[in-house]
Chains A and B, each alone.
Chain A
Amino acid sequence: MAHPYAHDTHGHGPHDPNDASDPHSHPTAATYVKVGVFLTALTVAEVWAYYIPSFVASHFFIPTLLILSAVKFATVVLFYMHLKYDHRLFRALFTGPFLVAAVSLIGLMFLFGKLAVRLGLLT
């Protein structure tokens, strides 16, 4: 059986998702540092928002925090966990259970009255 990720004589060919030693399969150290700075900036923004009373009282506070948190989550998963560069089966193994869990959480929030949709049916 041929190696599934055979390279030509110049070393060109499909990236082997098993080969964690392949330096071309991951971002550079400089990219990792930039991602770290970005994550720190988002964390500072989150905590800063927490200390602005008028913003905390507004309707934008919770959505803003959830969006910032989701961006941080996605950034770590895509860059630090290399899911952006990795095989689609790994992506499926993570996003499948994650989506099931997220939908379950949202469903439970509706079930226990933590979330509600205003349909305009009640007066």
Chain B
Amino acid sequence: MATVDMTADAAHPPMQHHYTSTGLDHRKIGIWAFIGSECMLFMSLISTYLIYKGRSLVGPFPHEVWRDPSTGHVMKAILNIPVTSASTFVLLMSSLAMVLAHDAVVHADDPNKKGYQNSKLWLAATAILGTTFLGFQAFEFTSFVHEGLTIRRNLFGSSFFTLTGFHGGHVTAGVIWLLTLLSIDIRRGLKPKDALSVDLAALYWHFVDVVWIAIFTLVYLIK
């Protein structure tokens, strides 16, 4: 069976792949290596949270009521599960919007593409959902500070704000990346040749989502 030699640039002009000795694009190898290193970063932060869990000497505590002996003031369990469940749902839906954005870019030149395959719509939706998640986090942090939990208050506060703050920082970086892609899409339109660029952003965004899946269970739900 005859094969088409794809080495000629003319045979494959739009795809600007950066092949390496592995035959794989170095940008994709790079993002996966970066995600692997991020796994270890977040696992160290989660380990620190779990090690310090239940070792705080003063409240507020995540799941237990605490009475301040000096003032007699009662502090309720500080974690707000309904609000965090909503923010978790928002981040999950942002991951769905991100894969649909990638799917739309892949099919951008397809004459049979469906109406919903609109990359601008899904990139904007992903960025909006990511920003909504950050809004939930800002609300949570603000309410915690008002209830007396700061990063210096106790071991729970230190490890909690460090862990979720690092995650929030990653979400912020992801939103900036998404808005950059959206501006390119608005300016000149993203085509199938740009699918890898969108794929890299999508991989990062999904990683941020899976980290939150772990945080939601280990920090919020397990008492």
Which residues from chain A sit less than 8 Å from chain B, CB to CB? 1-9, 13, 17-23, 26, 28-29, 32-33, 35-36, 39-40, 43, 46-47, 49-50, 56, 61-62, 65-66, 68-69, 72-73, 76-77, 80-82, 87, 89-90, 93-94, 96-98, 100-102, 104-105, 108-109, 112, 114
Which residues from chain B sit less than 8 Å from chain A, CB to CB? 1-7, 12, 15, 17, 19, 22-25, 28-29, 32-33, 35-37, 39-40, 42-44, 46-47, 50-51, 53, 81, 85, 88-89, 92-93, 95-96, 98-100, 102-103, 105-107, 110, 114, 116-117, 192-193, 195-196, 198-199, 202-203, 206-207, 209-210, 213-214, 216-218, 221-223
Name the B residues within 8 Å of A50 (CB-CB): 81, 221
Task: Please determine whether A18 and B28 come into contact, CB atoms closer than 8 angstroms.
Answer: yes
Shortest B98–chain A CB gap in Å is 7
Out of B2, B36, B116, B193, name the residue touching A94 (CB < 8 Å): B36
Name the A residues within 8 Å of B32 (CB-CB): 89-90, 93-94
Shortest B41–chain A CB gap in Å is 9
Name the B residues within 8 Å of A2 (CB-CB): 5, 7
A-B contact pairs, 19 of them (CB 8 A): A1-B7, A5-B23, A6-B4, A6-B5, A9-B2, A18-B28, A26-B106, A28-B103, A40-B93, A43-B89, A69-B216, A69-B218, A72-B210, A76-B213, A90-B29, A93-B36, A94-B39, A101-B44, A108-B51
Q: A20-B195, A23-B106, A47-B81 are in contact. Are A93 and B222 (CB under 8 A)?
A: no
Q: Max chain B CB contacts within 10 Å: which of A23, A73, A101?
A: A101
Interface SS, A side: helix
Shortest A72–chain B CB gap in Å is 5
Task: Please determine whether B206 and A21 come into contact, CB atoms closer than 8 angstroms.
Answer: no
Interface SS, B side: helix
Task: Please determine whether A21 and B196 come into contact, CB atoms closer than 8 angstroms.
Answer: yes
Task: Please determine whether B214 and A69 come into contact, CB atoms closer than 8 angstroms.
Answer: yes
Task: Please determine whether A81 and B196 come into contact, CB atoms closer than 8 angstroms.
Answer: no
Shortest B83–chain A CB gap in Å is 12
